[in-house]
Amino acid sequence: MFKRTRKQSLPEGPVTEEVLRGWLVEHLAGRVGITAAEVDTAASFESYGLDSRVAVQVSGSLEKLVERRLSPALLYEHPTIDALSGFLAKELRLTEQTG
């Protein structure tokens, strides 16, 4: 059973790959009832028990973050937080981190 999450505020400032990764970690942790520290960004969304309904919801929330229309199938096409945040950063030409 998935917990209903509180409305998560969107991060301030430019959206970078790191911001996306952090948002996905927090969002996933809230959905499955674990701490952000327990989320493995290389583990598949499926391993956390996310079903297609939740994948569509997460995709919808991501649309608000990046202010673009996204495919509901994104979580299946890019099945980990690392893969998804990397894809979105490249695809959306997000501000790159320096360092």
Its domain, for residue 29, covers 17-91
Please tell me the distance from the alpha carbon of residue 49 to that of residue 30, in angstroms, as a whole number: 13
How many residues are given for the chain? 99
Bridge partners for 95 per DSSP: 16
What is the average pLDDT across 50-78? 90
Percent of the chain with pLDDT over 70: 82
pLDDT digits (tens, 9 = 90+) for 8-53: 555 666 889 999 999 999 999 998 999 999 999 999 999 999 888 8
**pLDDT per position as a tens digit, 77-91:** 999 999 999 999 998
Q: What is the CATH number of the domain that holds 81?
A: 1.10.1200.10
What domain count does the chain have? 1
Would you say residue 95 has pLDDT above 80? Answer: no
